Amino acid sequence: MKILSIETSCDDTGISIMEAKGGIKNPSFKVLANNVASQISIHSPYGGVYPKLAKREHIKNLPSVLEKTLKDAKLDKKAKPVDLITVTYGPGLEPALWTGIVFAKELARKWKIPLVPVNHMEGHIFSVFPKAGKKNFKVLKINFPALALLVSGGHTELVLMKKWMDYKIIGETLDDAVGEAFDKVARMLELPYPGGPEISRLAEQARKLGYASGLTTRIPLLGNRFSRAVALRRDSLARLPQLSFPRPMLHTKNFDFSYSGLKTAVLYFLKDQQKKHSNILQNDKMKQAIALEFENAAVECLVHKTLRATEKYKIKTLIVGGGVSANLYLRKEITRLRQGFGRARKNLKILFPAPELTGDNSLMIGIAGYVNYLKNRRKTPTPRSIKAIGNLRLK
């Protein structure tokens, strides 16, 4: 069957069409068209997404993105071009979510086809299956228990799955999401929005230059992995302040995270430095060093809790999804979880999304929507009952 999928939970207007085949045990897909209209340039002056503007832009973009998507898929919009519609209904910005839902309802009514509401975070879990640059893909058979580390601008959570579509959030952020912290620190450093890729770029530059950062924590489980950076090129270190930002909740027994203290530590550090040197933000080295130590701290918390959860729950498959899963250092450190720690860890399968699907997109909504449709075929909700739920949780 052909599936049209719509994603408008934040600042990307995504519409795609896929041909889906197979039952719940072996779903497979062919991408016929996939488009995303990004609103980055609109929100960038505000340093974050402005919900009213996002709503206005989605309303403006939806018809033209649909038109282009149907054209790319060589389908005629007058006849019934697809068999099913899937749409994100939460979590996200409610005004933005509603635009996609209202649009989807109208199409479902016009074409007289079912409409499946999809949880955006479930979408990020399924985003690991399409392969970079390939049109055909399958939902792979994975071994359970599985764990999903979902990291985005609005979420930081660890989700335990004993089987498909059975979710238990075992840990989450108590305040800011990790992507939000990246964005806020980028703003403090006067870097453009979205800040994640900018911070990551500076941190990678700093690593190449061999800057040290104040990594002093030694985590028994991880050996000395994180303290290695300290030993690098002391000459460059000498010209930089000794940076050491906190790793909030690193040693708590639960699987929760906290990013607001880390962000505030960067703010206080900057304020303090500005008192001493007024033009601190013109100092590229200083910015690189801050980005490096911030990224090290942010990633260390993610990796440490993920590692502990994989051990406690004897995880066989680890899925990493959400905008922050584009982060190269996070990918590298997560991949290292498999190295040198005995057999169980070596057999851990780790899945990341293709780089172009780390951010919000509608393909992931289509995959999650199709499997939900197969599971609940007889219970597909009536379009009228579908509502936007800003704080929707996986369960």
**Amino acid (1-letter code) at residue 274:** Q
Q: Is the dihedral of CA 262, 92, 323, 55 positive or negative?
A: negative
CA distance 24 to 294: 42
List the single partner that 317 binds among ligand KG4, Zn ion, none, CB under 5 to 8 Å by kind: none
Size of the site for ligand KG4 (CB under 6 A): 20
| Sequence-ordered alpha helix ranges (H) in the chain | 40-43, 51-72, 94-111, 120-126, 178-188, 195-209, 234-238, 260-276, 284-312, 328-335, 342-346, 363-375
CA distance 249 to 255: 9
Stretch that binds Zn ion, among 137-145, 159-167, 308-316, 359-367 (CB under 5 A): 359-367
Stretch that binds ligand KG4, among 54-62, 98-106, 179-187, 244-252 (CB under 6 A): 179-187
Contacts with ligand KG4, 211-250, as mask; x by CB under 6 A: ----------------------------------------
Q: Is 151 annotated as a binding residue?
A: yes
Q: Tell me if 327 contacts ligand KG4 by CB under 6 A.
A: yes
Q: Are 30 and 375 in contact (CB under 8 A)?
A: no
Near ligand KG4 by CB under 6 A: residue from 90, 171, 196, 383: 196
Q: Are 266 and 294 in contact (CB under 8 A)?
A: yes
Q: Is 150 annotated as a binding residue?
A: yes
Residue nearest to Zn ion (CB): 152
Q: Tell me if 353 contacts ligand KG4 by CB under 6 A.
A: no
Q: Are 247 and 217 in contact (CB under 8 A)?
A: yes
For residue 338, which phi and psi values (nearest 5 degrees)?
-85, -15
Q: Is 65 annotated as a binding residue?
A: no
Provide the minimum distance between the beta carbon of 124 and Zn ion in the complex, in angstroms, as a whole number.
6
**Buried/exposed 39-59: b ≥16 CB within 10 Å, e otherwise:** beeebeeebebbeebbbbbbb
Q: Is 272 annotated as a binding residue?
A: no
Contacts with ligand KG4, 266-305, as mask; x by CB under 6 A: ----------------------------------------
List the single partner that 324 binds among Zn ion, ligand KG4, none, CB under 5 to 8 Å by kind: ligand KG4
Residue 288 or residue 327: which is nearer to ligand KG4 going by CB? Answer: 327
Q: Tell me if 7 contacts ligand KG4 by CB under 6 A.
A: no
Provide the minimum distance between the beta carbon of 226 and Zn ion in the complex, in angstroms, as a whole number.
28
CA distance 311 to 372: 29
Strand order of the sheet with strand 12-21?
Answer: 115-119, 84-90, 2-7, 12-21, 28-38, 136-138
Measured in residues, the chain has a length of 395
Residue written as token pair 């207007």: 13
Residue 81 or residue 91: which is nearer to Zn ion going by CB? Answer: 91
Near Zn ion by CB under 5 A: residue from 360, 368, 372, 392: 360
- Helices (H) and strands (E) counted in the chain, each on its own, are 12, 11
Stretch that binds ligand KG4, among 81-89, 236-244, 266-274, 320-328 (CB under 6 A): 320-328
Provide the minimum distance between the beta carbon of 288 and ligand KG4 in the complex, in angstroms, as a whole number.
15
List the single partner that 197 binds among Zn ion, ligand KG4, none, CB under 5 to 8 Å by kind: ligand KG4
Contacts with ligand KG4, 10-29, as mask; x by CB under 6 A: x-------------------
CA distance 379 to 395: 17
Q: Tell me if 152 contacts Zn ion by CB under 5 A.
A: yes
Q: How far is CA 102 from CA 8, 46, 105, 251, in A?
A: 11, 27, 5, 45
Q: Tell me if 154 contacts ligand KG4 by CB under 6 A.
A: yes
Residue 154 or residue 383: which is nearer to ligand KG4 going by CB? Answer: 154
Q: Are 388 and 90 in contact (CB under 8 A)?
A: yes
- Residue list, annotated binding site for substrate: 150-154, 183, 196, 327
- Contact positions toward Zn ion, by CB under 5 A? 152, 360
For the annotated binding site for Fe cation, the residues are 120, 124, 360
> Binding site: residue ranges?
120, 124, 150-154, 183, 196, 327, 360
Interacting residues toward ligand KG4 by CB under 6 A: 10, 152-154, 179-180, 182-183, 194-197, 200, 322-324, 326-327, 359-360
